[in-house]
Amino acid sequence: MTADIIDGKAFAATMREKIAAHVARLKAEHDLTPGLAVVLVGEDPASQVYVRAKGRQTTEVGMNSYEHKLPADVSQEELYALLDKLNADPAVHGILCQFPVPAHLSETEIVARIDPAKDVDGLHVVNAGLLASGQRGMVSCTPLGCLMLLRDKLGSLSGLNAVVIGRSNLVGKPLAALLLGDSCTVTIAHSRTKDIADVVRGADIVVAAVGRPEMVPGSWLKEGATVIDVGINRIDVEGGKTRLVGDVDFASASQVAGAITPVPGGVGPMTIACLLGNTVTACCRANGLAEPEGLTA
């Protein structure tokens, strides 16, 4: 069989249109413009690309983008002073600090410093706890994007066997909680899992969030499984060039799966779209307004 391609790029574009329409309504009816502040520490080239893309897409949907670039040797006190200022600023509804940060700063402590109501990355322990206990909080963008693609493709996820490969706080754990919330039977696999191929073979839904190029071959999959590939890995190819691949071997997996996300063009575009959606949601909550439908879990 040849799998259906799950087009995250197209889904994200439609989502951005809905977000732009909602932003326009907030302006017209409430004189409100959602604002997203992004903090970048240092000069990491990949982070600069991500921050530029976030800023551009934020303004394209009509929201305010506030970029704060700090030198790589910024002190913890200076960074925290900025976060405190952004926490207190009513024009800022979402705050994210682009990771990784230089080694003298703690990512865990940075996240803890952000007001959970403005934590549009959904990484604060308050938001992780709300998600784990099935309550309303801010949901991490990449797992939220994966859930939206799965719901769109499969409709109800109730009763399906889902295997999430990877147990990071950023992707694997929150996604497992979301799938459980949708009544999947969830297994989390990781680097210590015994016979991972056997675990994956029982899954109706396979999500790979590992960071290992093309680790999951088609031979691990159940016929017709839905595969979400979160991995983004740059590999060397001929002629000194590089290419992006996922954690799933697309060539063999697409012969067995029922549906699969490509890399690039699958989960990646959903992450920024969900970040924008979370910022609109945070703005509505901060102002006691009804939340737009379809932007969160």
Active site residues: 54, 98, 121
Q: Can you say whether the dihedral through the CA atoms of 200, 204, 208, 213 is positive or negative? A: positive
- Count, residues near ligand NAP per rule CB under 6 A: 25
Q: Applying CB under 6 A, does 194 fall inside the site for ligand NAP?
A: no
Q: Applying CB under 6 A, does 190 fall inside the site for ligand NAP?
A: yes
Q: Applying CB under 6 A, does 25 fall inside the site for ligand NAP?
A: no
Cβ proximity to ligand NAP: between 166 and 258 the closer is 166
Which of 117, 267, 280, 284 binds ligand NAP (CB under 6 A)? It is: 267
Q: Are 206 and 227 in contact (CB under 8 A)?
A: yes
End-to-end CA distance of the chain: 31
Candidates 294, 277, 279; CA nearest to 65 is 279
Which of 231, 258, 262, 277 binds ligand NAP (CB under 6 A)? It is: 231
Site string for ligand NAP, 140-179 (x = CB under 6 A): --x----------------------xxxx-xxx-------
* Segment contacting ligand NAP by CB under 6 A, of 189-197, 250-258, 274-282, 283-291: 189-197
Cβ proximity to ligand NAP: between 83 and 171 the closer is 171
Number of H helices, E strands in the chain: 10, 11
Burial of 196 (0-12, 13-18, 19+ CB in 10 A): middle
Separation of alpha carbons 168 and 60, rounded Å: 31
Would you call the peptide bond into 264 cis, given omega within 30 degrees of 0 as the criterion? Answer: yes
Q: Which residue is nearest to ligand NAP (CB)?
A: 168
Q: Applying CB under 6 A, does 15 fall inside the site for ligand NAP?
A: no
Amino acid letter, 9: K
Q: Applying CB under 6 A, does 271 fall inside the site for ligand NAP?
A: yes
Cβ proximity to ligand NAP: between 205 and 209 the closer is 209
**Measured from the CB of residue 98, what is the shortest distance to ligand NAP in angstroms?**
12
Which of 20, 212, 265, 291 binds ligand NAP (CB under 6 A)? It is: 212
Q: Among the residues of 61-164, which ranges form H helices?
A: 76-88, 107-113, 125-132, 141-154
Cβ proximity to ligand NAP: between 66 and 99 the closer is 99
**Measured from the CB of residue 145, what is the shortest distance to ligand NAP in angstroms?**
7
Would you call the peptide bond into 269 cis, given omega within 30 degrees of 0 as the criterion? Answer: no
Cβ proximity to ligand NAP: between 74 and 200 the closer is 200
Alpha-carbon dihedral 182, 147, 92, 126, rounded to 10 degrees: 40
Q: Applying CB under 6 A, does 64 fall inside the site for ligand NAP?
A: no
Separation of alpha carbons 282 and 277, rounded Å: 9
Q: Applying CB under 6 A, does 242 fall inside the site for ligand NAP?
A: no
Q: Applying CB under 6 A, does 234 fall inside the site for ligand NAP?
A: no
Encoded tokens for 125:
């322990």
Q: Phi and psi at residue 12, in whole multiples of 5°?
A: -65, -35
Q: Applying CB under 6 A, does 274 fall inside the site for ligand NAP?
A: no
Contacting positions for ligand NAP (CB under 6 A): 142, 165-168, 170-172, 189-193, 196, 209-212, 230-233, 267-268, 271
